[in-house]
Structure 1
Amino acid sequence: MKQIAFISKYHIPAPSKAPFLERQHIARAFIHTLEGFVQDYAYERITENGDTEYITIATWESDAALNNAREAVQAENLRTGFNRAEMLQQLNIRMEPGLFREDLR
């Protein structure tokens, strides 16, 4: 069975980096507890103007595991009152998400 990766690229203005990373720590700790989670990685690069480009890769066992994780994350955000879209807008962070499947050629 092919694994599926949820890959997100963020452009983070320098003043927004600390609150963004604080939230990322919470989110990454939560997804580690979910069934079907395989692994995750985070990479960053500082741009010439001091902003950060940040990439996260979360790998899941299957489409079903990813879908269940999405539902669990939404439920947790609702429970805690966290609104990701609002946070990204307030911090002026741009996000480019995508789903990628494992290439087993």
Structure 2
Amino acid sequence: MRDGPSASYQLTSPIDFRAALDLLGSDHLIVDATRMFIIFRNAVLDIKVKEGDLKTAELIAIEVLDSPPRSAEGGITLLERFLENLEATTGTDWIEGTPNN
């Protein structure tokens, strides 16, 4: 896997990632109460919850760990598309912050 873009986001209201991803039909692997990997458009996204947990996330960091080498979408575009899908499902707005490691 190669490292890609990362960003952190403050959510305007807490969301339950597991429930939202189930609604979207997105494949995901829960690592622990604050971290999960998501398959989105053949890319692997790493979600780390910085405030709350996967059921009550308020501040998160997202990193593109791996994306298809010939993908027309770059890492930032993948993140934007992912957030757009989640926003439509949860009704939560995302406020971009500084990248977290």
TM class by shorter-chain length?
0.3 to 0.5
Larger Rg: 1
TM-score, normalised to structure 2's length? 0.44
TM-score, normalised to structure 1's length? 0.42
